[in-house]
Copies of this chain bind each other. A is one copy, B any other.
Amino acid sequence: MFVNKTKIVVEFGDCDPADIVFYANYFRWFDRCTTALFRAAGLSLKQLFKHHGVLGIPIVDARARFMVPSTFGDELEVESAVTEWRKSSFVVGHKFFRDGVLLLEGSETRVWAAAHPTDAHRMQGMPLPNDVIQKLSRRKRRPVRKRSTVV
C-alpha cells in the first residue's frame, strides 16, 4: 500500500462559530489529499485527464467519522492511501492526526470515468489502467540508512 502524508494548517476561515473546523472543509481536504496522493505516486491528475482518455475521478460515495475536533492554527497530518481496488472504481482512505492523535477517518469512493461512447453528456466507468494501480500499490521505499563500514 502506497501511503502519502499531507500537512494541513487549519486557517481562521476554515472554522465556524463553535471555534472548530466547519465539517464540510474536511471533505475539501479529502480531495486535496487524493490529489497529493496521486502526485506523490508520479500521477498528475491534470495529465491523466489530458492524456489517458479519463474525464475525471468523480466521487460516488464519501464518508467520515469525526472523533476529535480541530481548530485555528492546528497542524494536521493526513495519511492517505488507496484501500480497495474494484473493477472501475477505487476507495481512498484518509486519516487525520494531530500530534499523533487520530482526529477523524474517512473515505472516498471514486470512479475511473471516461466519455460515454454514444452519449456525449454522460460518463461511464472504465477498468483502471494497470500502471495506475501499480503506482498506487507499491510500498514506499524507506530511505536506506548508510552504514559506516568497519574494516
Contact = CB atoms under 8 A, between A and B. Distances in A.
A84 interface: no
A12 B17 contact: yes
Contacts of A144: none
Interface residues of A, number: 38
Contacts of A32: 11-13
Nearest to A39: B73
Contacts of A61: 63-66
Q: Is the interface of A mostly helix, strand, loop or mixed?
A: mixed
A22 interface: yes
Contact of A12 (B27, B35, B60): B35
Given A12-B17, A13-B16, A46-B73, 4 more contacts: A12-B16, A12-B45, A13-B31, A63-B63
Interface of A: 11-13, 15-20, 22-25, 27-28, 30-32, 35, 44-46, 55-56, 58-67, 69, 71-73
